[in-house]
Amino acid sequence: MKICMIHGSGRKGNTDITLEFIKQTMSELGDVIYTNIYLPKDLPYFCTGYMAWLFTGDYAGENCPHKKYTHLILEKLLEADAIVIGYPNYALGETG
Ligand SMILES: Cc1cc2nc3c(=O)[nH]c(=O)nc-3n(C[C@H](O)[C@H](O)[C@H](O)COP(=O)(O)O)c2cc1C
């Protein structure tokens, strides 16, 4: 099984500790291959593609201004059987 872990904190803090705990627990249950996405390092921009994806029906496709980053992320997400998203709560909401 392939699991993609999304690390939504820019620092090595509680989010990382929590994701590591999930990793260890999942690994005890069976063979798991993990891929990781570290935010904001792996996608250091907010979306500026405006409506490009909507008009082309091509989310993160050739029209994405950040395709250098988004394509790698999309690849990891598509090849995963499961996705785990970890993020801290800042000001009553998720980060990013
Ligand atoms: C500016 C700021 C706002 C925060 N807002 C909330 C909040 O609304 N609710 C909450 O439960 N924790 C809040 N926290 C606590 C963080 O979610 C907590 O410290 C978290 O463990 C940080 O994750 P990290 O260690 O992975 O960076 C806030 C922390 C900071 C610095």
> Which atom of ligand 1 has the smallest separation from the CA of 87?
26
Report how far ligand 1's centroid is from the alpha carbon of 88 (Å).
6
38 bridge partner residues? 7
- In this structure, the strands spanning 33-38 and 2-7 are parallel
Residue whose CA lies nearest to ligand 1 atom number 11: 89
Query: Residue 94 has what pLDDT?
Result: 83
What is the CB < 6 Å shell around ligand 1? 9, 11, 13-15, 88-92
> Which atom of ligand 1 has the smallest separation from the CA of 15?
26
Structurally, what CATH architecture does the domain formed by 2-90 represent? 3-Layer(aba) Sandwich (3.40)
Q: In what order do the strands lie in the sheet with 33-38?
A: 33-38, 2-7, 82-86
Domains of the chain, residue spans = 2-90
* Residue carrying the six token digits 């059987």: 81
pLDDT digits (tens, 9 = 90+) for 4-57: 999 999 899 999 999 999 999 999 999 999 999 999 999 999 888 767 777 777
What is the average per-residue pLDDT within 72-91? 95
Report how far ligand 1's centroid is from the alpha carbon of 89 (Å).
5
- In this structure, the strands spanning 89-90 and 82-86 are unpaired
pTM above 0.85, yes or no: yes
**Integer Cα distance of 50 and 32 in angstroms:** 36
**Integer Cα distance of 72 and 2 in angstroms:** 16
